[in-house]
Structure formats: structure tokens, C-alpha cells
Amino acid sequence: MSQEFLTERPAFARLQALAGQQKTLVNLFSADPYRAQKMQIAAGPLMLDFSKQRVDARVLSELEKLAVEANLPGRIEQLFTGEEVNTSEKRAALHTALRAPAYKRLPGLEAVDTQLDRMEKLVNQVQTGCWRGFSGKKITDVVNLGVGGSDLGPLMVTQALREYTLPIAKHLRVHFASTIDGSQLFDLLDYLDPETTLFVISSKSFTTIDTLSNADTVRSWLSSYCQDRKLLHRCHFIGVSASKDKMTAWGLPEANQLYFWDWVGGRFSLWSTIGLPIALSLGMPVFRELLAGAHALDEHFRTAAPLENLPMMLALLGVWNVNCLNIKAHAILPYDGRLKAFPSYLEQLEMESNGKSVTASGKPLDYSTCPVLWGEIGANAQHAFYQLLHQGTQPVASDFIVAARRYDNACDYAHYEELVAQHELNLANCLAQSRVLALGNAAVEPTDNPYRQYPGNQPSSTLLLDRLDPTSLGALIATYEHKVFAQACLWGINPFDQWGVELGKQVAKELQPYLNLESSLDSSDLDSSTRELLQRVECLRSASQLVRQLDAPDAVSQEVKR
């Protein structure tokens, strides 16, 4: 399997040679007035302009060969047909099957429709008020308890598509709580009504400690209002998991369980029943439109030739930037306030998938894989980290994401014209920033002020959406999923496992007993830093406990009696 290493592919060697002779973006643009017309790909509601990437026709031709050498078309087919592409965990990765329409469902996957239908029924029950809390009142609030893929995807989509909320879903408030420290719950439980709040416990394994500890806190909170545990389980919890047994063991009745499967990766799972908060918050038809948008992009990915294939082009450009141009940072810059959570969603999707240093068969790599990826709403980031992009010392590649049309459905508002003016301002900023990053000084009047020098030549892609709606968002997410898969194929790694996150969980479990104030475990085996920090924490916590006891008169009198 010498073919699994990127660096062993013939096309890669030629690409590296080309990288040494690369012209700057200023030169590339002046050499060809039609550059932008040649460097764009359309896929449904999306359009990719990659003319501000540091590539030319020769580079593109070699990238195409690289795609063929890595057998991308064949690998895509394996992905879609359910072959065991997740080699280390010996499973398929069939998220694409979740969003195919029912009539195209792969044989044996009828359960996808069964679960979608069950989800739809639950959503209807909650939205119409048929679902009742323990005291018989209708549900007004839903809290999604989940972390990682069970949180980021649903949260991001729910925020992005809020304006498409169907009337039936408008009265329901959906919240998200993910953090292991219970901070978000602590705030929520302060004002939520226990009689009218429903909790969704989302965890693929149903053992995720972050989520299950939040669920236990919630159950204890509810128990102070209703002692009948069976009634609480029935009226206030829905479980979404691949582990039926674990949900049952936790106490969830079967009717309150929604399933998905081993072959759905957590970070690829928003298309499954993990999307329940999306459907609750926006309406089931909106969720189905999201699926349809992603499916259309799946078909594009599966059928388009490498240089006309939008996700594949993003993957190839990424490899070119990381491995040939040595650019190890990647900024995600949506110029759209609705996509606030999109960068953090992509951070998980890309870095958890492709932050790997061994090949799919376990051999160590000697080249870079996933770059450090981060982002923010573009116009806000202009007031934060753009300084580094423009005049810092790190090369950074960027993705600009923006919708051409906005506020079409707000034309009755008195402030419509001002909103449209804001949208135009936003578009202008988006275009200006990618232009200045690429061209630097050449984009403006020359000056000899040393502080006003802009080197430029920072590459970027612009993803232009017709407008942000359920269909285009579905396509946008699927684009990045497929980019991640194609990139993993090029790097020779498995994007569907995440062994790196396991060790931390295990050590946390080992350390937890040391933090119990009653315990007196010997910590001499630990490293000195951890030991010192443990001792300091114990000191601070014991002191405050003592103060609390002294403040409570009962405790003092008991103390005195003793």
C-alpha cells in the first residue's frame, strides 16, 4: 500500500516543483484578464470562486491528476455504497444515505425512514401541544442535552435558519446545553418551568459523560417538583442514541427513544434523528428541505469531474495550500450573522476528522494534514484577527462565505431600505477583504508610510450562495463534509475515527476521585504540575466550605455539640 502516502504520488512531486515557481496573486491576475471566469464552479445554489487561490492552469492540471491517482471517484463510490470506509472501527460512513429521498434508499436501510417518521410524529406531538408535562401542561421549552456532534450541528442549523421557522413551531423555544460543568444548565434551570420543559438527551453511545451528567442534574431538578420518576421519564425526556439498551437502562420508555446507527459518525449526524432539535425549532418540513439540499450536493459530488467538482476542488486547494505552499492556518469567514456557529461547527468537522498523523492502516505520516482551522463572522473578525491576516507573519488561507440575496422577505418592513443598505455594506466588506488579502498594496494608492504596507498574496476562496435557506445550507454543510472526506483520501488518513479524544476522557476519569474533598488519595504518583494544581484547588474549596458551614447557624450549633 505504498500508494497511501500523499508524498509518494507522482503528481505530488510535480506539484511541489510547481510550488517553487509560483507567481504572486497580483501577477496571476495581471497575466490573465479572464482568470476569474475560468476559476469558478457552480453546484446548485452554491458558486465557488477560487481565482484568488495561488494556482494556475498547470497546477490545476496536476491537482486533477492527483485526484485520479488517489482514486477519488472510486473512493467516493465506496463511501456512498456503504463500504467499510472507517477502517479502524470497521464500519461504513453512510451519512449520505440519511438524506437520500425514500425512493432512493439503499436496501436494508429502511430503518432510516422509520426513524424519520417516528421523529416527525414526536415533533408534531410537541408542536401541537399534544405532548404534556407531568402536570398535564403543554411543552413550551425544549433543551437539547448533547455535546460535539450532538450539539454543534443542530445548534448551528437552528441559528442559521431561524427566519424559516414555520408558524406551528413558533411558540416553542429550543435551548442547547452542552458543557460538562453544567454552566449553561445552571442559567437555564433558573427560569425554565419544570412543568413545561422537555429535555432531549442526545448521545450516540449514551455514555457521554458531559451529556449524561447534565441529564442527571436535570432529573434531580425535576424530581423536586414531581417525585414520580416513571412519570418524569415519560413526560420530560426524549433520548436520541445508537444504543437502545443504554437508553432503556437510564429509564427512558421505548416510545421516547429515537435511534440512529453505528455507521453515522457523530460529526456527520445532524441529518439523523440527532436533528430533532432542528425539526422542533423550525418545523419538520424545514428539516426535510435541509436533507434535500444536502442530497442534491451529494449527487454533484458523486458525478462531477474533479475540476468541476466543488467539494473536491476545495479539498485539492487545501492540500495544495498545506502541503505545497506550507500554509498551516485556515480561517472560515462567513459574512452572515446567521452563520455565527458555522466556524465552530467546521472546527469539529475538519479538525476532528483530519487532525491525524497516521495513515488509515496505521503508518506514521511525515507530512502535514489538517491545518489549524478557526473563524468568526467575517465583518466582526475584521475588528478582531484580520490585522494578523493583513500584516502578521503567518500565511493563512481563508474561505469567504456570503449570500447574494438577503431580506427578500422583509420588504414590508418600514426599515427595509436600511436593512438592504446594511446587506450591501456587508457584501462590500466581504469583497473588499478578499481583494485586499490577495492583492495587498496593489489594491490601493501606493504610499511610503511603513505602517501602511500590505503584502497581500494571502489566498482565499469565496463561496457565494444565492441566498441562505434550508436547501442552500444543506448543500453548504454537505460541501464541507465531502471536502473533508476527499482531503482525507488525498492524505491517506481515516476521517471517521477520533482516537485522539479518548485518552483525555480516560485520564479525567482517573483524576476525578482526587477532587472529592472527603477522599485522601495519595497523589505522589502524579506529575508535579497536576499535583500542585489539585492541592491548590482543594485548599480553595475547603476554605469556602468552612466559611459556608460557619454561616449556617444550625451547622455551628451541631459543630459545638460535637
Partner 1 sequence: MKTLILGEDLVAWTLAAALSSTGCRVYMQAGRLPDMASEAVEPDVLVLLEQQLEAGRLSLQAFFWQAAEEGVELLLDARDFVGLDTLLRDIKASGLPALVALVQPAPLGTTEALQEELHALPEASTEVVFWPNFIQAGRALESFTRIEQLLLGSNSEDATLKIKRLMLPFNRSQDRFKVVTPREAELTKLAINGMLATRVSFMNELAQLAASHGVDIEAVRQAMGADTRIGYQYLYPGCGFGGEAFLQTLEQLNRELNSTRPVTDRTASLLGEVQAINDQQKDLLFQKLWRYYRAEVQGRRVALWGCAFKPNTASVSGSPALHLIRVLLEHQVQVVVYDPRAAVNLAGYFDHPEGLEIAESPEEAAQGSDAVLVVTEWKEFWNLDLPALRDQMKEPLLLDGRNIYDPDEMAAAGWIYSGVGRGKVI
In this structure, the strands spanning 257-259 and 329-334 are unpaired
| Rounded Cα–Cα distance for residues 511 and 242 (Å) | 28
Q: Which residues pair with 465 in a beta bridge?
A: 46, 403
| Residue among 171 and 505 whose Cβ is closer to partner 1 | 171
Residue 106's Cβ-side half-sphere holds a number of Cα atoms within 13 Å equal to 14
Q: Tell me how far, at minimum, the Cβ of 39 lies from partner 1, in Å.
A: 45
Binding stretches for partner 1 (CB under 8 A)? 128, 130, 132, 134-138, 228, 231, 234-235
| Residue among 8 and 228 whose Cβ is closer to partner 1 | 228
Q: Tell me how far, at minimum, the Cβ of 104 lies from partner 1, in Å.
A: 34
Q: 479 near 65, Cβ under 8 Å?
A: no
Distances (CA, A) of 289 to 239, 285, 292, 475: 24, 6, 5, 10
Q: Tell me how far, at minimum, the Cβ of 130 lies from partner 1, in Å.
A: 5
Q: Tell me how far, at minimum, the Cβ of 230 lies from partner 1, in Å.
A: 8
Q: Tell me how far, at minimum, the Cβ of 116 lies from partner 1, in Å.
A: 22
Q: 473: Cβ–Cβ under 8 A, 6 or more apart, which residues?
A: 157, 160, 161, 290, 293
Q: Is residue 79 packed enough to be buried (19+ CB in 10 Å), middle (13-18) or exposed (0-12)?
A: buried
In this structure, the strands spanning 460-465 and 397-403 are parallel
Q: Tell me how far, at minimum, the Cβ of 405 lies from partner 1, in Å.
A: 23
| Rounded Cα–Cα distance for residues 164 and 283 (Å) | 9
| Residue among 140 and 380 whose Cβ is closer to partner 1 | 140
Residue 396 has a CB neighbour count (10 Å cut-off) of 22
In this structure, the strands spanning 397-403 and 329-334 are parallel
| Residue among 114 and 128 whose Cβ is closer to partner 1 | 128
| Residue among 136 and 446 whose Cβ is closer to partner 1 | 136
| Residue among 199 and 206 whose Cβ is closer to partner 1 | 199
The letter for the amino acid at 453 is: Q
Q: What radius of gyration, in Å, describes the C-alpha atoms of the chain?
A: 26
| Rounded Cα–Cα distance for residues 468 and 474 (Å) | 10
Q: Tell me how far, at minimum, the Cβ of 284 lies from partner 1, in Å.
A: 18
Q: 172 near 140, Cβ under 8 Å?
A: yes
CB pairs under 8 A, 24+ apart, for 42-45?
42/310, 43/297, 43/300, 43/304, 43/310, 43/475, 43/479, 44/293, 44/296, 44/297, 44/300, 44/471, 44/472, 44/475, 45/293, 45/465, 45/466, 45/467, 45/469, 45/471, 45/472, 45/475
Residue in the block written with cell 414520580? 228
Q: Tell me how far, at minimum, the Cβ of 531 lies from partner 1, in Å.
A: 52
Residue in the block written with cell 505552499? 325
| Residue among 25 and 252 whose Cβ is closer to partner 1 | 252
Positive/negative CA dihedral, 299, 305, 308, 309 = positive
Closest CA to 148 of 271, 267, 268, 275: 267
Q: Is residue 107 packed enough to be buried (19+ CB in 10 Å), middle (13-18) or exposed (0-12)?
A: exposed
| Residue among 74 and 337 whose Cβ is closer to partner 1 | 337
| Residue among 236 and 483 whose Cβ is closer to partner 1 | 236
By annotation, the residues acting in catalysis are: 352, 383, 505
| Residue among 118 and 138 whose Cβ is closer to partner 1 | 138
| Rounded Cα–Cα distance for residues 391 and 457 (Å) | 11
Q: Tell me how far, at minimum, the Cβ of 192 lies from partner 1, in Å.
A: 17
Q: Tell me how far, at minimum, the Cβ of 136 lies from partner 1, in Å.
A: 3
